[in-house]
Chains A and B, each alone.
Chain A
Amino acid sequence: MSNAAAMRPGRPALPEWVRRLPEYLMIWVPLLLSAAHLVSFSLWTIWISFTPSTLVPVTGWVGFRNYTAVAASRNWQIAFDNLLLFGSAFVLLSAATGLILAILLDQRIRGENVLRSIFLYPLAVSFVVTGTVWSWLLNPGLGIQKLVHDLGWTSFKFDWLIDRDMAIWTIVVAAIWQSSGFAMALFLAGLRSVDSDIIKAAQIDGAGPVRTYRRIILPSLWPITITVVVIQLQFAISTFDLVRALTNGGPGIATQLPALVVYDLMFQRSLLGRGAAAAVLMLLILLAVLLPYAAWRYIQRRRAAHA
C-alpha cells in the first residue's frame, strides 16, 4: 500500500525509511518491549532463585540450596511424575483425537461449518470454567456416576476424581476436551493443503481411501503434527488454572503439577526463593522441549534452502 502511495504521480517520493516507519514501529516496539519484559523478568527470577528470599526479595547468595530443597520435596517429585504422565498422555491423545475429528470432517460432509464450530468451541471457554464444570461432572456423588445410578445401573463406578491413582486422568480428559478442537483445526488445514492432483493420481492408480490416507495424506501431515505436539506440550507444562479448578492438586497432593508448586511456594508459603527455583526448573523443562524443536526447524529450513 505504501508503495502505491509513493508511486502516485505528482508527489515526491519519500525516503525509504520514512515510508517504512509505520512498519518498523509496528514490529519493533512491541517486540522489544515484550522481549525486554520477558528477558528481564526471567533474569530476575533466576537471580531470586539463588537468594534466601522469603516474604520479599532480598539480596544474598545461597547457591543451589533452593534447588535442592525443591527437588527433594514430595510435592515437586509428585508434580514432576505427574507432568511426565499428563504431558505425554495429553499430547498423544489430544493429537489423535484432533486428527480423527479432522479426517472425519474432511469427508465433505454437510454441516461441516457447524460441526467445526462445535468442536472448536471448548477452546473459547476459559480453563477455570472447564475445570469447574468437569469437577461437577466427574464428582461421583453429583455427576456422571450418579446419573447412571439413577438410571438403574447401580454397580456402575466412575470415581476417578476422588481416586488418588486415577485423578490425574481426569485432568487429561478435561484438557483433551478443551484443546483437541485446536489440534483438529490445524490438522484440517493440513489435510486441505494436500495437493489434490496427487490424490487424484492415487485414485486413478486404484488406491482405496484407507490406502490414500495411509500412504499419501498422513505422511504429508507430519510437519503439522510436530507443531501440534510442541504447542500442546508447552501448554501441558504450564497447566495451572485447569488443575486448580478441577482437583486443586488433590486428592491430597496426588495431582500436583509444577506450576501449582511454584504458585504454592511463592504465594501460599511465602518462600520466594524456593518458588523462583521451581519456576526456573519449569523453564528448563520447557527449554528441553523447545530447543530440539528450534533445532529441527533450523535443519528443515537449511534443507529447503539447499533443495
Chain B
Amino acid sequence: MPITTTRRRLLAGSAAALAFPHLARAQGAAKPRLTAISQWSAGSDGAAITALGKKFEEKGGVWQHSPVPGFTTEMMNKLRAQIMAGDPPACSQLKGPEIAAWSKIAPTVNLDALVAAAGYEKVVAPDLAKLHKPGGKWIALPLQIYSTNMLFLSKRAMDKAKADKVPVTWADFNDLAEKMKAGGVASPIANGGTRPDDGQKFEAALAGISPLAYRAAIMNLDKKALEGPEIKAAFAQLRKIADWMDPNVGAQHFSTNLKRFIDGDMGMMIMGGWAQGVLRNAGFKLEDFMITPGPSDNGKPVFLLNADAFIFWQRKEADLQAGQTLMAQLVMDPAIQTMYSQITGSIPVRTDVDLSGEGWSDGQRTTAKALKDAIASNQAVLSMAHNMAQENGMTAAMIDVITEYVKNKSIKPEQAATRLAEAVEGAR
C-alpha cells in the first residue's frame, strides 16, 4: 500500500527532525510560523494584533492567531486546555504574576539571548522587567503599557465648576469634586460598577496617598503595612469617591456612561489609559476632556502599571521556534511598539520611544511622561485591580472587600482595613 509507505517515510523524517533539531534548522527549510492565542478579537485591540500579524507575514512568517473573545480568564481556560493536552501555543497573551504561576505548569522558552541582543532590559521599567523573568530568565515580553490611575476630566463639568486647574493632590481632587457638585454636576465621579472599577479607585487612592505603603501592603503583602494608617486613609478617600458616584450604575461597564461624562453630567473619571481609545472609538473629540496623572499627595506622579505581554511556550517544531524568534524580535522593536500603541491608545513599553511625533495624542504623551517621572522617583507600582500585583486568587480576595465597601456605606474605613488584612491572610 503506497499510502502507508509515504506515511511511514514522513514519520521517519519528522522523527529525525525531532532528534536533530539543529539539522532541521541547518537546512533552512523552516519557514517561521507562530501559533498564538489572545483575547484580542475586536475593536482597537483586534486591529492592533491584526496589524502585528501583517508585519509578521511581511517578514516571511505564517501567522496563526486564534483569538478567544471575552474576559482574560476565558483565554486562560483555552490555554489551560491546550497545555494539559500537551499542545501549547507557541506564544500566548499572559500578564503580571500569572506569568510566574503558569510557567510552573509547562516549559517556556528562555529569551535571554534575544533580549540581550535587542538591549531591551535597559529600556523597561525595573518592576515590570521582574515580572517577565521569574527565576531570573526572560520567558515573556511586555508589549504595551497602560496606567490604571489616569484622571480624566470633563471639560463641560470643569466649566460648570468654574475651575481650570488640574488637581494634583487628593485634597485638590476633593475640592474640585465639591465645586463640581455645587456647580450642578450630577455625579462628580464617572464610573462603572464592575469589580476592577472598584479595585481601581482603591488602588489609586492608596498609591496616591503613599506609594511606599502601596508597595509594602499590596505588592509585598506586608502584614504591618496592611494594618497601617495609610490603608484606613485610602478607604476613607474611597468612601468620598463612592459618595460622588452615581449609585444607579449598578454593575454597568464604565463605557456606558461616557456620554454623560462628556456632557458634563459626570465630572471626573479615574480610569486606565484605554478609556482614551474607547472615547475616541465612540466618536468623542479629544478637546472634550483632559487627561492627567491620578492624584498624588507628594506632588510627583504615581504610575499604576498595567502591561500586556506575550509568554512563549516551548515547542519542538523548527518552524515554530523560528516563529518565536521572529515574534520576540518584533515585540521588542520600537517601530512595532509605536504602531501597536498608536492603535490601542496605550504607551510603548520602551521608555526610549519618542512620542512627540504625529500619531500620538496629548494623553499618551502625558502618560509616557508620568511613567518616566514615576520611575525616576520610584513611584511606578504594579496595579492590583488589573492583576499585576498579585495572582488572581489574591486579587479577587482583596476586591471582594473593596467592592463590598464601595457598595455598603455602613462599613467603616477601619472595619474595611481589618477585613482587607483578614482576606489577605485567608488567601495566602
A residues apposed to B, CB below 8 Å: 54-56, 69, 72-75, 135, 139-142, 159, 161-162, 164, 247-248, 250-254, 264, 267-271
B251 partner, pick from A75, A135, A269, A270, beta carbons under 8 A: A135
B164-213 residues at the A interface, CB under 8 angstroms = 193-194
A267 with B250: CB separation less than 8 A: no
B400 with A74: CB separation less than 8 A: yes
B246-266 residues at the A interface, CB under 8 angstroms = 246-252
Given contacts A251-B193, A271-B393, contact A55 B406 (CB under 8 A): no
Q: How far is the CB of A183 from chain B (nearest CB, A)?
A: 29
Which residues on the B side are within 8 Å of A74 (C-beta)?
Answer: 400
B25-74 residues at the A interface, CB under 8 angstroms = 73-74
Given contacts A55-B101, A253-B400, contact A162 B392 (CB under 8 A): no
Given contacts A56-B83, A56-B105, A251-B193, contact A270 B407 (CB under 8 A): no
A264–B399 alpha-carbon span in the complex (Å) = 13
Chain B, 388-414, contact with A by CB distance < 8 Å: what is the 0/1 string? 000111001100100111111000000
Main secondary structure on chain B at its contact with chain A?
helix
Which residues on the B side are within 8 Å of A73 (C-beta)?
Answer: 426
A267–B80 alpha-carbon span in the complex (Å) = 10
Given contacts A56-B84, A253-B403, contact A161 B392 (CB under 8 A): no
Which residues on the A side are within 8 Å of B408 (C-beta)?
Answer: 164, 251-252, 254
Which residues on the B side are within 8 Å of A142 (C-beta)?
Answer: 248
A55 with B102: CB separation less than 8 A: yes
**Smallest Cβ-Cβ distance to A141: which chain B residue:** B248
A72–B426 alpha-carbon span in the complex (Å) = 9
**Smallest Cβ-Cβ distance to B248: which chain A residue:** A141
B251 with A247: CB separation less than 8 A: yes
A252 partner, pick from B84, B101, B407, beta carbons under 8 A: B407
Q: A252-B408, A267-B74 are in contact. List 19 more A-B contacts (CB 8 A).
A: A55-B80, A55-B101, A55-B104, A74-B400, A141-B246, A141-B248, A164-B408, A247-B250, A247-B251, A250-B250, A251-B193, A252-B405, A253-B404, A267-B73, A267-B76, A268-B73, A268-B392, A269-B392, A270-B393
A248 with B251: CB separation less than 8 A: yes
Chain B, 229-272, contact with A by CB distance < 8 Å: what is the 0/1 string? 00000000000000000111111100000000000000000000
A74–B426 alpha-carbon span in the complex (Å) = 11
Size range of the chain B interface in the assembly: 20 to 34
**Smallest Cβ-Cβ distance to A256: which chain B residue:** B400
Greatest chain A CB density within 10 A among B101, B248, B391 is at B248
Which residues on the A side are within 8 Å of B403 (C-beta)?
Answer: 250, 252-253
Which residues on the B side are within 8 Å of A161 (C-beta)?
Answer: 250
Q: How far is the CB of A132 from chain B (nearest CB, A)?
A: 11
A250 with B193: CB separation less than 8 A: yes
Please provide the 4 A-B residue pairs with the shortest distance between their CB atoms, ordered closest to farther.
A141-B248, A252-B404, A251-B407, A252-B407
Which residues on the B side are within 8 Å of A69 (C-beta)?
Answer: 426
A254 partner, pick from B105, B249, B397, B407, beta carbons under 8 A: B407
B residues apposed to A, CB below 8 Å: 73-74, 76-77, 80, 83-84, 101-102, 104-105, 193-194, 246-252, 391-393, 396-397, 400, 403-408, 426
A73–B426 alpha-carbon span in the complex (Å) = 8
A268 partner, pick from B194, B246, B396, B406, beta carbons under 8 A: B396
Q: Can you list 25 residue pairs at the A/B interface with Cβ under 8 Å?
A: A56-B83, A69-B426, A135-B250, A135-B251, A139-B250, A140-B247, A142-B248, A159-B247, A162-B250, A164-B408, A247-B251, A248-B251, A250-B193, A250-B403, A251-B408, A254-B408, A267-B73, A268-B73, A268-B392, A268-B396, A269-B392, A269-B397, A270-B101, A270-B393, A271-B393
B400 partner, pick from A72, A75, A162, beta carbons under 8 A: A75
A139–B246 alpha-carbon span in the complex (Å) = 12
Which residues on the B side are within 8 Å of A164 (C-beta)?
Answer: 407-408
A48–B84 alpha-carbon span in the complex (Å) = 15
**Smallest Cβ-Cβ distance to A69: which chain B residue:** B426
Which residues on the A side are within 8 Å of B251 (C-beta)?
Answer: 135, 247-248, 250-251
A72–B397 alpha-carbon span in the complex (Å) = 13
Q: How far is the CB of A193 from chain B (nearest CB, A)?
A: 44
B404 with A269: CB separation less than 8 A: no
Q: How far is the CB of B19 from chain A (nearest CB, A)?
A: 29
Which residues on the A side are within 8 Å of B249 (C-beta)?
Answer: 141
Q: How far is the CB of A251 from chain B (nearest CB, A)?
A: 4
**Smallest Cβ-Cβ distance to A72: which chain B residue:** B426
A268–B394 alpha-carbon span in the complex (Å) = 11
Q: How far is the CB of B378 from chain A (nearest CB, A)?
A: 31
Which residues on the B side are within 8 Å of A135 (C-beta)?
Answer: 250-251
Q: How far is the CB of A273 from chain B (nearest CB, A)?
A: 11
Which residues on the A side are within 8 Å of B80 (C-beta)?
Answer: 55-56
B393 partner, pick from A72, A139, A140, A269, beta carbons under 8 A: A269
Which residues on the A side are within 8 Å of B193 (C-beta)?
Answer: 250-251
B248 partner, pick from A162, A247, A248, beta carbons under 8 A: A162
Which residues on the A side are within 8 Å of B396 (C-beta)?
Answer: 264, 268-269
A252–B391 alpha-carbon span in the complex (Å) = 21
**Smallest Cβ-Cβ distance to A78: which chain B residue:** B404
Given contacts A139-B248, A162-B247, contact A270 B392 (CB under 8 A): yes
Which residues on the A side are within 8 Å of B393 (C-beta)?
Answer: 54, 269-271
B84 with A140: CB separation less than 8 A: no
A98–B134 alpha-carbon span in the complex (Å) = 59
Q: How far is the CB of B406 from chain A (nearest CB, A)?
A: 7
Q: How far is the CB of B134 from chain A (nearest CB, A)?
A: 14
Given contacts A253-B404, A264-B396, contact A270 B391 (CB under 8 A): yes
Q: How far is the CB of B200 from chain A (nearest CB, A)?
A: 16
